[in-house]
Amino acid sequence: MSDYPMYALSEEHQAIREAVRAICDAKVAPFAAEVDEQARYPREAAEALQAADFHAPHVPEAYGGAGADALATVLVIEEIARADVSASLIPAVNKLGSLPVMIGGSEELKQKYLGRLAAGEGFSYCLSEPDAGSDAANQKTRAVRDGDAWVLNGTKRWISNAGESEFYTVLATTDPDARSKGISAFVVEKGDAGVSFGAPEKKLGIKGSPTREVYFDNVRIPADRIIGEEGKGFEYAMKTLDHTRVTIAAQAVGVAQGALDYALGYAKERQQFGKAIADFQGLQFLLADMGMKVEAARQLTYAAAGRSERGDADLTFFGAAAKCFASDVAMEVTTNAVQVLGGYGYTRDYPVERMMRDAKITQIYEGTNQVQRIVMARQLLAGVQSEI
């Protein structure tokens, strides 16, 4: 039997949603437009989320964290994204960066870094490279053993919250002849000698979350900073993505819900031809489709979260399906929200154009939706899908 009712939230989960929404209404939403306009890190949101233990809710209580389950973490990210997608990257990236440590790391590594994450020091994920996007196994960053240390050299690209995070899970090749089985994972600290960052990318959306290159120039780290076994890094990385694609789905559901909420309010207030535009059937059909698809995306995302928590065999399919479907829905719903507002929706005076720009990245990062469809097809053809 499922640990999570698919069709209703428990009182505890509902309370988490309400608590996060209250924080977002007070400390996230009021700054979202300014954060976007100035392309600055959402400090107000970061401080508020940290104060409430929502900055990295997935960290187990044993390491000083809130110990939130996968569904609770999804609810946190969804509610933050409803107000500001950039701010939702704080808990999402912290989970992405630290999950390899939770999956494969030694107890000593977990004690050291998960505790510091719970205390507020961020954790980013360094997988992508200039020549390793969808072909993630094509790693050029090298790690060479030198006595009681590893020495890293290379460049990582598209690293979310780079420069803000204190810690980085870095994938690097330790055996160039073994392709994916020659990749290992390491924890690198921001302050390690030889670590530097490129200029922030100038992006279409999520402007409040810095995206930068990370450079490793003869970065020497202690040997015990390897995550798990040598050669297992790519396996840990792919297992991580199975779980964290669900958090991208949550972002997508959140921004879609935020856009729908705003469009509904506007449609009831805006008058044309002597009545509210919400009274016109053509617009009602548009709003109905938006609401229907947001709810379908939400249910699929919550179903995937349950599988993430249990580690079900069909998580790979459900994680890819939730991420792909919810992000396509987010792009459609936010675009339609702009349409509901007409000319006003196209201006920065209203939030839906920002939501539309922010939504686009959910179709791209942590695996493009084309890659998600490949993943799903392989799972279906292998017969790995839940019997409901």
Q: What is the end-to-end Cα distance of the chain in Å, rounded? A: 11
Give catalytic status of residue 366 as yes or no: yes
Catalytic pick among 44, 295, 366, 387: 366
Q: Which of the residues are catalytic? A: 366
